[in-house]
Structure 1
Amino acid sequence: MRNIWILLLVLVVGLAAYFTFFHGQSGTSFSQAEVNFALEDTASVQEIILTSVENGTPEKRQKLTRIGADSWTLNDSMHAFAPKVRQMLKTLHLIHVTEHLNEAAQASAEELLLRYHIRIEVKSSDGSEKTYFMGPQAPQGNGTIMKLKGASKPYLVSIPGWVGYINPSFNMSETNLRENLLFRTPSQKLASIQWSYPKSGKESQTLIREGQSDTWMLNGTPVADTAALNAFLAKFDQPVFAESFADPQYPGKRAYLADREADYIFTVKTLEGDQREITLYERTDNPSNMFGWVNGKDELLTIQHFVFDPFLVEAAEFQN
């Protein structure tokens, strides 16, 4: 019995210490206006403006504007990478307060926010706006410092069940937010697909049809295995993206590769006459990736083999 009372006493003391440490002199409950971080209706968001502030001075700004259900522009001049925007909205939808800081911790957090934060302005179709001030990760590893516009103090926030911090969801690098599209060519719009192999000298292959109802021809011969063909064509019904923009990490690499024979040149053409040609180079430093670019654009890309290999097929796959 005595041991039970000792355990109860320890528990009470532990709880008292917790509330003293995390709630300080400001009470033991959260004001809803102070901690309403979660963005309930992400589907109505029309614009997100990210501004980095360093030493109290705005340094960089990125604006994302919705132009469709899952389509966004970046700074009104280029397409944004929709998966990155979805991740950002998901993060804003799920964040909650992890810890209510005591007065000493609040003062330190306010000082950090004054020196450095990312301001996240969210504008919705009903005219409502919500602004977050996101600071660095807490030194204890238990959340990210964040404050809502109009709130009296910052808090530590996180997402239940996530390992890591929310900060990477708001990476402001243009190369992180830009769409790194290789091609977006739905199968019903395809007119031709061509594979060539300049470095190996292997014979090129062409899959072509004259119109939407015409027979697909492979190197001048009707495709024999229509089931295999349809399975292959279905892969085009989702957009295909590169892994990353590589020029910042590999300056001068594109010019170097342009003077050398490519391993593959992959060309898709639509029935409307639009064409997309992608030049690809194997990598000895990272065999799971390739270097490449979309012809007509100057930017070097990294392209994952597991993403692109399903499109680098052999003619034998379409023959019975």
Structure 2
Amino acid sequence: MRRRNTIISILVLALIAGVAIYFSQKNTSSTIVSDQTAFAVEDTGNITKLFLADKNGNDVTLERKGNDWIVDGDFEARESGVNVLLSTINQLAVQAPVSKNKYETVLKKIASEGIKVEIYKNNNHDKPFKTFYVGSSNIDHTGNYMLLENATRPYLMHVEGFYGYLTPRFIVRSNDWRKKHIFKYAFGEIAEISTKYPDEPQKDFTIKSLGNNNFELYNGQSQKVENIDKPKLLSYVSMFKERNFESFEEIEAQSFQDSVAAQTPEMIVSVTDTAGEKTTVKTFKKRIENGEDLDGNEIEYDLDRFYATLNDSNFIVVQYFVFDPVTAELDYFKK
């Protein structure tokens, strides 16, 4: 009986010790999680500013203004990009801890190649609510090594349900965040459309809104054109609902861009909205080397794309396919 009681006592003590160790480890783990793996932000609706920067001198600031996000204080940000970034910040989770023998290597890579992410909440833009660093991906490209500011231990982080690394979501170049709108107007927002052909002024025209979806057409000498095809005119105005450019020109040097912009434009299209804000696009042919058309004939200029300046400041590449619907001449509207 005594031997049986002793065995039971040993088993009870072992059980108590096991439970104590379990809870001890659980508490330690919880401390680590709260201190060093708390990358995610549960309520991204309170985030009002994001700052991202890399070691190559690129940085970008995104600020919430009402229902919109603004890039570097000037330009409207792409909704899709902001939503993906906020969703990523919300869903960041530990995939695996970094082993001690990899600490030094991972930390060095984060220090030399990492992207700094500062998160600000509730319009308190003096001090970030949270800061972390996004490092390189693991060998399988299923996550990224990350480090919270003031933490000592990096972690391999991922988004559950997503197979891939997260670097492309943390964009640090301003132009990559900007919306690529040339024109984006609701029908009732347009006050005037002016199109000029510097080398062929007989094609020039201006469309003016009278309100209530009524428009008048004028020639290049500001003379009203009476005999017009109104359905064509209305259809043309509706084409300014959304026209986007393909990209910013970032390959050619600034001197090249300046030389192109100094040439006489093929066409100048300006739209003034009801608030008096004007958007002006000047178009230029895009020269190509060793170009051929579909029949194998040598061509000097790109048949698919052209250069343009947007409000005389942004040098962009535009597809003819996208821009052609807002390309018209005076005679097009005449009956």
Match status 1:260 vs 2:257? no
Match status 1:191 vs 2:191? yes
Task: State how many pairs are aligned.
Answer: 284
Q: Name 1:291's counterpart in structure 2.
A: 307
Q: Deviations over 1:77-101 (max 9, x none)?
A: x225334434432432344334433
Q: Deviations over 1:9-34 (max 9, x none)?
A: xxxxxxxxxxxxxxxxx99x886434
Q: Name 1:6's counterpart in structure 2.
A: none
Q: Secondary structure of 1:309's partner?
A: helix
Distance 1:97 1:270 in 2: 49
Instruction: For residue 53 of structure 1, report the CA deviation from its aligned partner.
Output: 4.7
Instruction: For residue 121 of structure 1, report the CA deviation from its aligned partner.
Output: 1.0
* CA distance 1:53–1:282, shift in 2 (3 Å): closer
Instruction: For residue 210 of structure 1, report the CA deviation from its aligned partner.
Output: 4.5
Counterpart of 2:41 (choices 31, 39, 42) is: 39
Superposed counterparts of 1:60-75, under 5 Å: 61-74=59-72
Superposed counterparts of 1:1-320, under 5 Å: 32-33=33-34, 34-53=36-55, 61-74=59-72, 76=73, 78-83=74-79, 84-125=81-122, 129-149=129-149, 151-160=151-160, 164-178=164-178, 181-198=181-198, 201=200, 203-206=202-205, 208-213=207-212, 215-219=214-218, 220-221=225-226, 224-226=229-231, 230=234, 232-238=236-242, 240-246=243-249, 249-285=252-288, 287-295=303-311, 297-313=312-328
Q: Which amino acid aligns with 1:132?
A: F
Q: Name 1:20's counterpart in structure 2.
A: none
Q: Percent identity?
A: 20
Instruction: For residue 134 of structure 1, report the CA deviation from its aligned partner.
Output: 0.7
TM-score for both structures, normalised by structure 2: 0.68
Q: Which amino acid aligns with 1:82?
A: R
Q: Name 1:8's counterpart in structure 2.
A: none
Q: Which amino acid aligns with 1:171?
A: I
Q: Which amino acid aligns with 2:203?
A: S
Q: Secondary structure of 1:182's partner?
A: strand
Distance 1:114 1:32 in 2: 22
Residue pair 1:211, 1:271 contacting (<8 A) in 2 also: no
Q: Deviations over 1:24-56 (max 9, x none)?
A: xx99x88643444343333321111223358xx
* CA distance 1:249–1:146, shift in 2 (3 Å): farther
Max Rg structure? 2
Q: Deviations over 1:97-121 (max 9, x none)?
A: 3443333234421232233322211
For structure 1, the residue ranges without an aligned partner over 5 or more in a row are: 1-25
Residue pair 2:245, 2:319 contacting (<8 A) in 1 also: yes
Distance 2:49 2:211 in 1: 38
Distance 2:193 2:171 in 1: 36
Residue pair 1:91, 1:159 contacting (<8 A) in 2 also: yes
Distance 1:187 1:126 in 2: 35
* CA distance 1:101–1:242, shift in 2 (3 Å): same
Q: Secondary structure of 1:171's partner?
A: coil
Q: Which amino acid aligns with 1:209?
A: K
Instruction: For residue 136 of structure 1, report the CA deviation from its aligned partner.
Output: 2.0
Q: Which amino acid aligns with 2:304?
A: S
Aligned CA RMSD, in angstroms, stands at 3.7
Distance 1:45 1:223 in 2: 52
Q: Which amino acid aligns with 2:63?
A: T
Distance 1:243 1:162 in 2: 28
* CA distance 1:198–1:249, shift in 2 (3 Å): same
* CA distance 1:309–1:93, shift in 2 (3 Å): farther
Residue pair 1:289, 1:305 contacting (<8 A) in 2 also: yes
